[in-house]
Amino acid sequence: MRDLIIVGSGPGGYVAAIRAAQLGLSVTLVERNGLGGICLNWGCIPSKALLRNAEVLELIHGADRFGITTGEVTADFGAAIDRSREVVRRLRLGVQSLLNGNGVEVIPDTATLTGPGTVGLTGRDERLQAKHILVAVGARPRPLPDVPIVPGRVVTSREALEERDLPASVLILGGGAIGCEFATIWRAYGVDVTIVDVAPVLLPAEDPACSEALAEALHQRGITIRTSTAMQGLHVESDHVRVDLHGPAGDETVRVERVLVAVGSTPNSDQVGADAHHLTDRKGFIRTDAQHRTGMPGIWAIGDVAGPLLLAHVASEQGIQAVETMAGHATTPLDYVMMPRATYSHPEVASLGMTEPQARETRRPIVVGTFPLQANARALALGDASGFVKVVANGDTGELLGVHMVGHGVSELLGEPLLGITLETSLDEVERTVHPHPTLSEAFKEAALLALGRPVHLPPRALQRQTG
Ligand SMILES: Cc1cc2nc3c(=O)[nH]c(=O)nc-3n(C[C@H](O)[C@H](O)[C@H](O)COP(=O)(O)OP(=O)(O)OC[C@H]3O[C@@H](n4cnc5c(N)ncnc54)[C@H](O)[C@@H]3O)c2cc1C
């Protein structure tokens, strides 16, 4: 009997398969669609490729700021979609070759849980057996009740990532990461974009300073933001979609060419029969313990189908932890507060750890330092100095509790505070690090210096403003 069957080859499943094979387990991976899951095929990767197109276009449109005159610029959105699909194709080949190289058997099929240690395969009318089964079937865009998908008119991210034509106007339902990223892409291509959310702010899980700065930056790019606003009705007409909204100013009807529904995700537990085995909670997520065991012996679950944080790197880390536990290794439960999070809008938002309000709720003494990128040499040289790096730390010990950033490319700055927090680094230790100049990473050190009350690159009056 094989050791392990993994259902689903997203960043949870395929990474778990490779690690399990490295640990000497015999592994079969069942995948009904493209290797790499939603992340690689219809999520993280194609959206980031399109965001790069948007960035290039924004640079060209703003070239005069650099003393560069361009002629008439034409931007072919279909070509952008093609480029994103090519990036996906190359990465998918990479996953395929990694799985082959590690001796993982891949079966293209749909699997269903049939009991402890067995899964049924739809295409082969066959059952597979293993000592362990790891369910990594992910999630799909959550539909809104009574709002069917109408290609070209009412879409989710899945359709939006392959539609080659651009609408003149789009209303995005949902001001989370996916909504803000699509707003960035479409706005760069000249689309009239409105974001609607019932929450009072964009990215409500982020530090309030990040939500506010992002809303301001998107507004400056010409994106309309309607928070605290509920969609009351949606009607697809012949050449537009009519959307009834209720917000702080009362009722209003908006007409747009396209609506993007980006209101969250529904776990695919029903697509693998986990619900039939009563393994799920009220929202359909598979319930697991800290080591990813479900309520059924030998069945494990990771990634978006299990939650709690629906992110690719979380799925991968959970997958590694699950198979290491199966192989008899001791593992430490993941700390979900300390998981890095990024929204790749322009500007980007990147964070980890506690927000300032969360840190204050702990009733510990807290110090905060917020360093504006306007005072960072590299950001000014890049011509994109909006945003900041904010550090939240324990006021007694200087221990880093959270880092929150807004700005050009700040997702790439997460690595340093991530390592710092993992190693329980204090502000004093950050102060002793030497950062290359000129880099955006200096803003992290400056934010730490601000929290310590001794910034180098801000005048004393800025310190007084921050400490209040
Ligand atoms: C537009 C968009 C952008 C995103 N951007 C980011 C980002 O920038 N960063 C980030 O961290 N996260 C991002 N995410 C979230 C990220 O894609 C998910 O967190 C991640 O894909 C979860 O990985 P997973 O392995 O749990 O599942 P998935 O990647 O969803 O993979 C599950 C796989 O299981 C397969 N499957 C399902 N049922 C069966 C079955 N019964 N039998 C066989 N196979 C089955 C599916 O076909 C799929 O391939 C984004 C999501 C979207 C939609």
pLDDT tens track for 126-164: 899 999 999 999 999 999 998 999 999 999 999 999 999
The residue with greater pLDDT, 418 or 363, is 418
Alpha helix (H) residue ranges in 128-190: 157-160, 177-188
pLDDT (average), residues 37-45: 98
Residues 166 and 260: their CA atoms lie apart, in Å, by: 13
- Ligand 1 centroid to Cα of residue 27, in Å, is 20
pLDDT tens-digit map of 291-318: 999 999 999 999 999 988 999 999 999 9
- Ligand 1 centroid to Cα of residue 269, in Å, is 13
Distances (CA, A) of 47 to 33, 171, 195: 19, 18, 17
Please tell me if the CB atom of residue 166 comes closer than 6 angstroms to any atom of ligand 1.
no
DSSP string computed for 180-245: HHHHHHHHHTT-EEEEE-SSSSSSTTS-HHHHHHHHHHHHHTT-EEE-S-EEEEEEE-SS-EEEEE
Backbone φ and ψ for 362, nearest 5 degrees, come out as -70, -10
Residues 34 and 39: their CA atoms lie apart, in Å, by: 11
The residue with greater pLDDT, 239 or 468, is 239
Please tell me if the CB atom of residue 39 comes closer than 6 angstroms to any atom of ligand 1.
yes
Distances (CA, A) of 205 to 100, 209, 295: 39, 11, 30
pLDDT tens-digit map of 14-24: 999 999 999 99
- Average per-residue pLDDT in the chain? 96
pLDDT (average), residues 425-430: 96
Residue 258 pLDDT? 98
pLDDT at 386 over 70: yes
User: Could you tell me the pLDDT band of residue 462, with boundaries at 50, 70 and 90?
Assistant: confident
Parallel, antiparallel, or unpaired for β 2-7 and 265-267?
unpaired
Please tell me if the CB atom of residue 119 comes closer than 6 angstroms to any atom of ligand 1.
no
% of the chain surpassing 90 pLDDT: 93
Backbone φ and ψ for 230, nearest 5 degrees, come out as -105, 140
- Ligand 1 centroid to Cα of residue 210, in Å, is 26
pLDDT at 276 over 90: no
Residue 6, classified by CB atoms within 10 Å of its CB into exposed (0-12), middle (13-18) or buried (19+), is buried
For atom 8 of ligand 1, which residue has the closest CA? 44
Sequence-ordered list of residues with C-beta below 8 angstroms from that of 71, at least 6 positions apart, any chain: none
- Of 103-107, 192-196, 420-424, least confident by mean pLDDT is 420-424
Residue 307 pLDDT? 87
Residue 464 pLDDT? 60
Residue 17 pLDDT? 98
Please tell me if the CB atom of residue 110 comes closer than 6 angstroms to any atom of ligand 1.
yes
In 3D, which of 338, 406, 353 has the Cα closest to residue 376?
406
User: Could you tell me the pLDDT band of residue 468, with boundaries at 50, 70 and 90?
Assistant: very low
Q: Annotated catalytic sites, by residue?
A: 437
pLDDT (average), residues 274-294: 95
User: Could you tell me the pLDDT band of residue 263, with boundaries at 50, 70 and 90?
Assistant: very high
User: Could you tell me the pLDDT band of residue 466, with boundaries at 50, 70 and 90?
Assistant: low
CB 408, CB 347: distance < 8 Å: yes
pLDDT (average), residues 308-331: 97
pLDDT (average), residues 336-363: 96
For atom 49 of ligand 1, which residue has the closest CA? 37
Please tell me if the CB atom of residue 11 comes closer than 6 angstroms to any atom of ligand 1.
yes
pLDDT at 455 over 80: yes
SS (H, E, C) 178-192: HHHHHHHHHHHCCCE
Query: Can you name the residues that pair with 362 across neighbouring β-strands?
Result: none
pLDDT tens-digit map of 46-69: 999 999 999 999 999 999 999 999
- Count of Cβ atoms closer than 10 Å to residue 335 Cβ: 10
Q: Is the peptide bond before 455 cis (omega within 30 degrees of 0)?
A: no
- Ligand 1 centroid to Cα of residue 35, in Å, is 10
